Amino acid sequence: MRDVGGEAASRASDRASLRRSNLGLVLRLLRDAGPRSRTRIAAETGLPKATVTNLVAELVERGLVREGETARDGSVGRPSRTVEIDGRTICGIGMEVNADYLSLIAFDLRGEVVVERHTPLDTRGSGPEAVLDQMAEAVRETRDALRTRGVHLVAVTVAAPGVIGMDTGVVSYAPNIGWQDVAVVEGLRSRLGAGAPPVRLENDAKLGAVAEYLVAAAADIHDLIYVTGETGVGGGIISDGRLLRGSAGFAGEIGHMPLDPGGQPCACGRRGCWETMVGLAALLRLAAAPDDPVHDPTVDLAQRLAELRRRADTGDAATLAALERIADGLALGLALLADVLNPRAVVLGGYFAHFGDYLIDRVRGELSARVMAPEAGRCEVLLSALGFSAAARGGAYLALDRVYQDPGGVSASPAG
């Protein structure tokens, strides 16, 4: 079953916890495999049919599943009603803090977007405390809006760049937004006050990888690298359907691979990191003069990228030359990753996807020439369809994962 990067289900130690574990087993089966009859659920989980009937009844009472279409199990026997995920009164929030914006997405249990908001933000210039104020206000407003619809907010996952501590809830070092030792989880909880939903912190690129995997898995792709181009360059690695964290949780810090030691200075204090070659700052530096409006962080990033896109489409030489440089730099780093990890796919997100038609053919050609394995190890280069929403989407998914792991912890009252 699909538990990409969430918390593992707790082991049952008594009758009550065994029941909660079985509730999660049934709910995750319906999430991953789709609507099922009670008979089929019993066969696929190994649980007695009477037990499944009772579990489904409780999940219905909690608003997590509902009766679906009529189906026949096998060629004989009476048709029965299927059971499918409901959860329209259950919601999880994913929120990304980026150098240029604050993004929030709320999903219901079926993965449908309930709320989405995007706010331009000069994160470095504002400072951590002001940004945390804005983040808390965004959560508060969304929670209040959900309550008016009878929807219960179960959790919030914050996506942040750089080195983060999952256990401590602290952004230890994020040079691209100027944060060091910022207690994000504690800061949000204190601002939200009594009744604050559970808050969790995760790296933005890892959450982006989770969101992309949920798309790629439908095409039977279970090993991928997600590479996002924003102010920096982040990476998330899915190996055999699981998010790869590494021994200390830092796997995926690909933006600081030293690929051009004599190159541009990096926000981390070194020179020639990969993100100085292909990050958003590199594109802007290569495509436009320093006083060009596309450098203005107070202007929405989407508007600035749209202007660069317009220039490329009208044949602006500087913009086109910049995109060629970016494509070559991308291929260099991706070839190293493909040689080491042999992914089934590399998914390009962030601004890379925005300019995908200008980049992808050149990247594919260079990657094929550079990777040692024949046919680039059968690695495909794909463009994200999620744009800049991938990290927030992955966060919303993980916020809801606590429901799939422990449905018994969800109140039957939707407005709770």
For every residue of 133-155, DSSP letters joined together read HHHHHHHHHHHHHHHHTT-EEEE
Name the residue range of residue 101's domain. 90-206+391-409
Asked if residue 351 is part of any domain, the answer here is: yes
- Mean pLDDT is lowest, of 57-66, 97-106, 249-258, 274-283, for 249-258
Average pLDDT over residues 59-75: 81
Asked if residues 286 and 308 have their Cβ atoms less than 8 Å apart, the reply is no
Mean pLDDT value across residues 133-137: 97
The pLDDT-based confidence of 414 (bands split at 50, 70, 90) is very low
Portion of the chain with pLDDT greater than 90, in percent: 72
> Do 127 and 51 share a domain, yes or no?
no
Query: Are residues 222 and 360 both part of a single domain?
Result: yes
Answer yes or no: do 35 and 105 share one domain: no
- Asked if residue 213 belongs to a domain, the reply is no
Please indicate, yes or no, whether residues 234 and 293 belong to a single structural domain of this protein: yes
Higher per-residue confidence, 401 vs 9: 401
CA separation for the pair 416, 275 (Å, rounded): 44
Say if residue 230 is in the same domain as residue 131.
no
Per-residue pLDDT at 68: 82
pLDDT (0 to 100) of residue 128 = 96
415 within domain boundaries: no
Highest mean pLDDT among 70-74, 308-312, 364-368, 378-382: 308-312
Confidence band of 240 (pLDDT split at 50, 70, 90): very high
The pLDDT of residue 375 is above 90:
no
pLDDT of residue 411: 65
Strand partners, 101: 120
**One domain for residues 127 and 171:** yes
Residue 317: CB atoms within 10 Å? 8
With cut-offs at 50, 70 and 90, classify the pLDDT of residue 268. Answer: confident
The CATH number linked to 78 is 1.10.10.10
Classify residue 383 by its DSSP letter: E
Task: Identify residue 364 by its one-letter amino acid code.
Answer: R
Q: Which of 85, 112, 141 is the last residue of a domain?
A: 85
pLDDT at 378: 87
Mean pLDDT over 212-218 rounds to 89
Does residue 164 fall inside a structural domain? Answer: yes
Q: Both 299 and 380 in a single domain?
A: yes
- Mean pLDDT across 14-20: 83
Query: Which pLDDT does position 259 carry in this prediction?
Result: 94
pLDDT at 1 over 50: no
CATH classification at residue 254: 3.30.420.40
Q: How many residues appear in the chain?
A: 416
pLDDT band at 6 (very low <50, low <70, confident <90, very high): low
Same domain, 198 and 238: no
**Residue 340 CB partners (closer than 8 Å, separation 6+):** none
Tally of structural domains, the chain? 3
Flag whether 231 is in a domain. yes
pLDDT at 2: 56
Q: Is the confidence at residue 71, as pLDDT, over 90?
A: no
With tokens 């749209």, the residue in question is: 306
Residue 72 reports pLDDT greater than 80: no
* Whether residues 222 and 196 fall in one domain: no
Count of CA atoms in the C-beta half-sphere (13 A) of 45: 28
Domain-ending residue, one of 62, 85, 108 = 85
Distances (CA, A) of 338 to 172, 233, 365, 377: 29, 16, 14, 8
Residues 377 and 398 in one domain: no
Residue 212 maps to a domain: no
Which comes out higher in pLDDT, residue 363 or 409? 363
Q: Is residue 9 part of a domain?
A: no
Cα(243)–Cα(43) distance, integer angstroms:
29
With cut-offs at 50, 70 and 90, classify the pLDDT of residue 171: very high
Half-sphere exposure in the Cβ direction for 32 (13 Å, CA)? 17
Check residues 201 and 16 and name the one with the higher pLDDT: 201
pLDDT surpasses 60 at 9 = no
Same-domain check for residues 73 and 117? no
Residues 41, 80, single domain; the answer is yes
Q: What does pLDDT average to over the chain?
A: 90
pLDDT of residue 70: 76
Determine the longest span between alpha carbons in the chain, in angstroms.
74
Last residue of some domain: 85, 106, 128? 85
The tens digit of pLDDT for each residue in 387-400 reads 889 999 999 999 99
pTM: 0.87
2 located within any domain:
no
Q: List, as own/partner pairs, every contact residues 49-53 make where C-beta atoms lie below 8 angstroms and the sequence separation is at least 24, other chains included.
A: 51/22, 52/26
